Structures are given as C-alpha cells and as structure tokens.
Amino acid sequence: MKLYLDQMFRLDLAKLLSARGHEVLCAAEAGQNTADDTEILRLAISEGRILVTLDEHFGDWAILPLDNHPGVVRVKAHPATTNNIARLLLPFLESHRQEEFVDHLVILSPRAERWIRTSGN
C-alpha cells in the first residue's frame, strides 16, 4: 500500500512498514514536519496515499472535512510507541487492499476497527 505517515511517527515505524512491502512517505521526508492537518491531508491526496495518523482532528468534520481522499487511518494505541502502533497496524494493513480505504476514515484500536464513510460519492 501507498502510505503517508503523519508528523508524530518515528522513522522506525516507516522502516517496519517498508520492510513489509508498503510504499511509505513520512511527513518529515516531505518537508511537512510543521505543516497543519489540512496541508498534511492535501499532500496525502495528491500523492494517492492513505494517511496514517494519531490525530483526533481527522474524525472531526467541523475542523477538517474529509471528502474524496485515498483514506485515513487513525490509530489509537496507548502508549503510542512504535511497537504498539506496529502491533495494530501491520496485521490490519495486511488484511485489506488499498482500494477499500478510499473515502473512509478508519479508527483502529486494540479492541476494534471502525470504518466511517466520509463521502457520498
């Protein structure tokens, strides 16, 4: 899958994902280490990448509307260490295809995955 990792993730997570065959771009590598959420999402969309984030703003339509995008996965892991995130994210990504994420926000936690359609198209 083509993934875009938000600013809060460490490079070791990108390396783990890449080792599993994912095409990963990090916000820091793209010059977005201080970008706001709108800019982060805009780049993910322009690159055709699923955005992976810890940021709760991606579930708040009043703050950041989601429409026509490759997908957003919001990971809820406590504590948000690379190991905890990878333990959730790696098997989840391996059980889905890139196309399934289009126009969906997925909230991924140790207990559940919640898929929310964000576009009427």
Using CA atoms, how far residue 51 sits from 22, 48, 81, 96, in Å, is 13, 9, 18, 15
pLDDT score recorded for residue 62: 43
In angstroms, how far is CA 11 from the centroid of its own chain?
A: 14
- In this structure, the number of other CB atoms found within 10 A of the CB of residue 1 comes to 22
Gap between the Cα atoms of 105 and 108, Å rounded: 10
Give the CATH architecture of domain 2-117. 3-Layer(aba) Sandwich (3.40)
Reading the chain (121 residues) residue by residue, the pLDDT tens digits are: 999 999 999 899 999 999 999 999 999 899 898 888 889 888 999 999 999 999 877 655 444 566 788 999 999 999 999 999 999 999 999 999 999 999 999 999 999 999 988 875 5
pLDDT score recorded for residue 83: 95
Domain spans, the chain: 2-117
